[in-house]
Amino acid sequence: MNNHLADLPAWAAVPAALLLLAGAGLTLIGTVGLLRFGSFYQRVHAPTLGSTLGIGCILLASMLIFSVLESRAILHELLITALMVVTTPITLMLLARAALYRDRSEGSDEVPPPPSGSTTVPKPGASDEAGV
Amino acid sequence: MRRLMRRWLPYPLMTATLLAVWLLLNESMAPGTVILGGLLSLATAATLGVLDLPGGRFRRPWAALSLLGVVLVDILRSNWAVAKIILRPGGGGRVSGFVRIPLDLRAPYGLATLACIVTATPGTVWVAYDRRRNTILLHILDLVDEQEWIDTIKGRYETRLMELFE
């Protein structure tokens, strides 16, 4: 593998290295945010740095390196990008809705009440708000 | 002809996407790969009929490209903004909170796309969708002005999505 990478010309190696550093850096910043933020709803924002631009930079670097090494367009990574974009919202919504449900039933005043405006504790399955 | 189409090609866009995925995975445009991938995607799309998917339509692929451009720019900008918030020492003065946004968009695939966009831009998280009032509840990391966010979601994304899906 190392021998392969030694063949990589500088014009490709430099941008690929910068992209990898940027992607890894963004993911690291997101992880730091996970530590620093206070509430659940703030924390859930932080890792999205890694799951959007962070992984985007890393995949671009991968496409660049392998396209140059094999002298043809390597486009696998587009699939990874598409699948990430489509599946991340599902996990995030599940987490956010679980947190919202918990906070509402605990009567927390940090979260908005259910849209019906009633102050009663939401019963399972009786919530007005549903995921798409 | 229409009946034949409906029988064998109920989801043309889905079939084309599956074929594209197959060709990308195989990294080949050889006739054998194309034929096998074509048969597989036809069969897979046909089984989708069992799932009773909500109907929808997709128009103006070129408008989708302009939406993609807008979203890519927003991803770059919001990544930068959230990274700055995280690295700011003390993190003082920042207010985050919930915003309820009234929507005009009702097409299910349009809403799903909006969910992907909201999630893909750091700083906004889709929390819940109220089908009866057609509103979404978002959590915004850096909430300065609620109206500004309502205008952003409706102006930048919703009008374009309604052009595409409704």
Q: ipTM greater than 0.90, yes or no?
A: no
- Digit-coded pLDDT (tens) for A70-121: 888 888 888 899 899 899 999 999 999 999 999 988 888 778 877 664 444 4
Sheet order of strands, B124-130 included: A129-130, B124-130, B135-140, B97-102
Nearest to A36 among B86, B116, B122 (CB): B86
- CATH classification at residue B81: 3.30.70
The domain tally of chain B equals 2
Yes or no, beta carbons of A48 and B82 under 8 Å apart:
yes
Q: Which residues of B47-84 are buried (b: 16+ CB within 10 A; e: fewer)?
A: eeeeeeeeeeeeeeeeebeebeeebeebbeebbeebbe
> What φ, ψ does residue B125 adopt, rounded to 5°?
-130, 130
Residues of A in contact with B25 (CB under 8 A): 76, 79
Given a cut of 80, whether residue B92 has pLDDT beyond it is no
Yes or no, beta carbons of A52 and B133 under 8 Å apart:
no
B56 belongs to a structural domain: no
Name the pLDDT band for A1 (thresholds 50, 70, 90): low
Its pTM stands at 0.83
Residues of B in contact with A130 (CB under 8 A): 128-131
Nearest to A26 among B83, B116, B126 (CB): B83
Q: What is the total residue count of chain B? A: 166
CB atoms inside a 10 Å sphere around CB A105: 12
Residues B116 and B47 in one domain: no
End-to-end CA distance of chain B: 26
Nearest to B125 among A74, A92, A132 (CB): A92
Residues B105 and B129 in one domain: yes
Residues B45 and B86 in one domain: no
B29: domain range?
Answer: 2-51
